[in-house]
């Protein structure tokens, strides 16, 4: 059984002082939740402070992006060498990076390889926009993104990483996909594509999250689905109460879903 993973993507929010306050507010309750992996992804400036706060807990740390080179004349960039001292995870290819910063499928692939080389676990984001969804292109777009991101990897490497299916039309809109709809895309398209490339064993070992307007009210609908292994949480991760609630409900729902299928 795949261990569910709930990751909070803070995006461009929280000063160092605000990050410390938020983590202190949620740390104890979040750490006590069993049966689910917990990951916080603050901005680069707060990584060191958050790392120290969660050092003795079960909570993991992730960055929101990174460059693929180890070092060099890349002003403003952060390398995997800089992150590996602090983080266990790194988000790669988020739709906002693709949309606003020119992230390409080739760049995503290079970042994934660099992360794995340095012992960081990538959370690879894939997903279609509203126009693509309405045009019936979801399967083609998502499958192509998965293929591009994983190009040149081994089955063993694929088993160790995380993919987040984030329909772009659901991010920040308050209108999440349905649980059954997300489950179908994750199972048939994302996991199906991985199976065709790397075999069924790799596909079944791979953890795949849902992301897009996740809330305490909607998380159970996703976590009871058999193909969904967690969530990449945006806005709700900026609230200690909401993120703890999402994580707790996720753990309970996944356990109940597993019981119902046995």
Q: Which residues have a catalytic role annotated? A: 94, 166
Nearest-10 crossing angle of helices 240-261, 16-32: 30
132 burial (CB, 10 Å; 0-12 / 13-18 / 19+) is: middle
Which secondary structure element, helix H or strand E, spans residue 98, and what is its range? Answer: helix 95-101
Helix, strand, coil: what percent of the chain each, to 5?
Answer: 50, 15, 35
Q: Which of 234, 255, 238, 157 is nearest to 199 (CA)?
A: 157
Which secondary structure element, helix H or strand E, spans residue 99, and what is its range? Answer: helix 95-101
Tokens representing 231? 């969530």
Q: Render 123-162 in DSSP notation, one character per residue.
A: EEEE---HHHHHTT-HHHHHHHHHHHHTTT--HHHHHH-E
Q: What are phi and psi of 254, to 5 degrees?
A: -65, -40
């Amino acid at each position: 059984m795949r261990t569910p993973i709930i990751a909070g993507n803070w995006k461009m929010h929280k000063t160092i002082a605000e990050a410390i306050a938020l983590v202190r507010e949620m740390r104890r309750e979040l750490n006590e939740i069993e049966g689910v992996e917990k990951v916080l992804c603050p901005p680069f400036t707060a990584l060191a402070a958050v790392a120290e706060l969660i050092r003795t807990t079960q909570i993991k740390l992730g960055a929101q992006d990174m460059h693929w080179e180890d070092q060099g004349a890349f002003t403003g960039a952060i390398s995997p060498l800089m992150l590996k001292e602090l983080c266990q995870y790194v988000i790669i290819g988020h739709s906002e990076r693709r949309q606003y910063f020119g992230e390409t499928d080739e760049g995503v692939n290079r970042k994934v390889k660099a992360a794995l080389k340095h012992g960081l676990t990538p959370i690879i984001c894939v997903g279609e926009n509203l126009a693509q969804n309405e045009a019936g292109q979801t399967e083609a777009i998502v499958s192509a993104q998965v293929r591009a991101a994983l190009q040149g990897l081994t089955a063993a490497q694929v088993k160790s990483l995380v993919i987040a299916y984030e329909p772009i039309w659901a991010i920040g809109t308050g209108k999440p996909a349905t649980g059954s709809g997300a489950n179908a895309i994750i199972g048939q398209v994302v996991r199906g594509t991985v199976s065709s490339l790397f075999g069924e064993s790799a596909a079944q070992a791979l953890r795949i999250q849902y992301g897009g307007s996740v809330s305490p009210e909607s998380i159970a609908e996703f976590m009871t689905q058999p193909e969904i292994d967690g969530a990449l949480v945006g806005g709700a991760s900026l609230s200690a109460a909401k993120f703890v609630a999402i994580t707790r409900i996720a753990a309970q729902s996944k356990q109940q879903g597993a019981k119902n299928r046995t």
